[in-house]
Structure 1
């Protein structure tokens, strides 16, 4: 019996390995990778973005302290200048803030919060927008009109205003009972509800084109249900524009979170994101402690710029008119 089972496992593993090899070969020979290797600016932006993600993931290993742990903070170390200045002290490479937090450690942990909020916000807005866009384009009629009118109304308001509205409603409902983790969830909800419209309108337009093609008619003819047709057959043909929107919206989501935190409606001082660090440092800018606001601001600007450059490249690379 054992001799009969082993060949079956080997036979089942062989097609999977061949499929993985074939997928890798197609990737290496694709126009997307060729376009990526031709642009040095895009490769630099990708390297910087990857560096930021790795720094956020391995923050506990790189940071000299946990800035979220009050037991590791000492007020005697507050407002120490960067290490290369005359008043600098080891091991505070980028200096400290008013609570004695090492700025490099605070930036690494704050970067982690900003990226988590941005990624979860993009995932939520993308899932909501794609679902509504599929339903609006495939079903049509009154459902399509209702979803698109809601989208049109939301487009008249800036995204930051929608985020502030959702954030304010959550705070008024839960009063002061929101801890740092709950506040992170509120930010994800606010950002997600601010950016779903772009996905919905883009997916709806693609679905209106795709649903009249022969493969959709064939799927309907063999009796496949509408959700299966939308998700398995129509959605894969709309992934190009969705990828571009998601990349650009990641930068917008991080900026929105930083703006909310800078305005005092985001992450608290006990678990600061990059926006919170900038807000805290802004209070000490004219007192001479420039490093408290400068380094988080530089980190945020570099992150946003690198992601935007990747989004611009992806938009051009997936545009068939530019190939």
Structure 2
């Protein structure tokens, strides 16, 4: 009887160990150790996570839907924050000129800013990683063509590329762009503006990796080039890509805010943080400082926390600093 029980218990232990081995390796890794040692990084990660949670839970936390005109009343316009003498409940951070609760507008504006930033970063990464893989692995004329295009784009600031894409879209469709279509245009503009960093970084890593023995062995057994690039070469080039992606997320959010502030981004009926800052800037010298101050603080805090995470990730993944 006991002989029948022992084999089952000895088999269960390795299975449980295999199920938690990845978590144990992650907790014992140098990256997690570096993360725990940096209090500033932990605070930045907590703030970044808080911003994402606020954006996701905006319909639950907001006292009104600022995108729904039926919920707005002009009688509630320009109410000062709740802790001031003229403040009114439930408008904790006051209201703007359309009667929108500033806190609710920030929560919903975060959703748009983060959506544009994340989707723009993913699009730029997809384009850049693909072109960088092809350029580095194929080489020759293909490599020269892709890199010359990248060099030409680097001569122009990213905001100008984004304005160009935005202007072309508006010239083609005029005023027919609804807020959802405008969001797609912003994602496309940001994606086409930031792919170069990914392409150049991935190309450099591929040029190093493709001369190693494991690539020669994969070629020898007849694996297709696409499979070698995606399954063998790309994973070894993902460290620098993750750093670029983190930093580019902040740049994408800032670019969207800049475009919206210049009037080339999201409309006032569906404002992002940049649009809220542009609206509030018109009333800054009239004394309604809260309309621009709180969206500006939210944008600055979001970008600063993401940048701090990017700086830590760059140092953590740098083997020279371990």
TM-score normalised by the shorter chain: which range applies?
over 0.9
CA distance in 2, matches of 1:293, 1:93: 15
Gaps of 5+ in 1: 1-10
- CA-based RMSD of the aligned residues comes to 1.3
Q: Could you list the per-position Cα deviations for residues 179-205 of structure 1 after superposition, in whole angstroms to 9, with x for gaps in the alignment?
A: 000000000000000000000000000
- Any runs of at least 4 consecutive aligned residues in structure 1 with deviations exceeding 2 A, and if so which? 13-20
1:22 Cα shift?
A: 1.1
Paired residue secondary structure (1:176): helix
Number of aligned residue pairs: give it. Answer: 312
Q: Check if 1:296 corresponds to 2:318.
A: no
1:143 maps to what in 2?
142
2:186 maps to what in 1?
187
Paired residue secondary structure (1:99): coil
1:7 maps to what in 2?
none
Gaps of 5+ in 2: 1-10
Paired residue secondary structure (2:194): helix
CA distance in 2, matches of 1:246, 1:17: 34
CA distance in 1, matches of 2:70, 2:277: 23
1:19 Cα shift?
A: 4.2
Alignment of 1:102-251 (within 5 A): 102-251=101-250
Paired residue secondary structure (2:82): coil
2:4 maps to what in 1?
none
State the TM-score, normalized to the length of structure 1: 0.95
Q: Check if 1:268 corresponds to 2:267.
A: yes
CA distance in 1, matches of 2:174, 2:94: 35
1:21 Cα shift?
A: 1.1
2:306 maps to what in 1?
307
- In structure 2, relative to structure 1, the CA distance for the partners of 1:19 and 1:144 (3 Å cut) is farther
CA distance in 2, matches of 1:188, 1:17: 43
State the TM-score, normalized to the length of structure 2: 0.95
1:40 maps to what in 2?
39
1:319 maps to what in 2?
318
1:17 Cα shift?
A: 6.2
CA distance in 2, matches of 1:14, 1:115: 43
- In structure 2, relative to structure 1, the CA distance for the partners of 1:108 and 1:188 (3 Å cut) is same
CA distance in 2, matches of 1:118, 1:133: 22
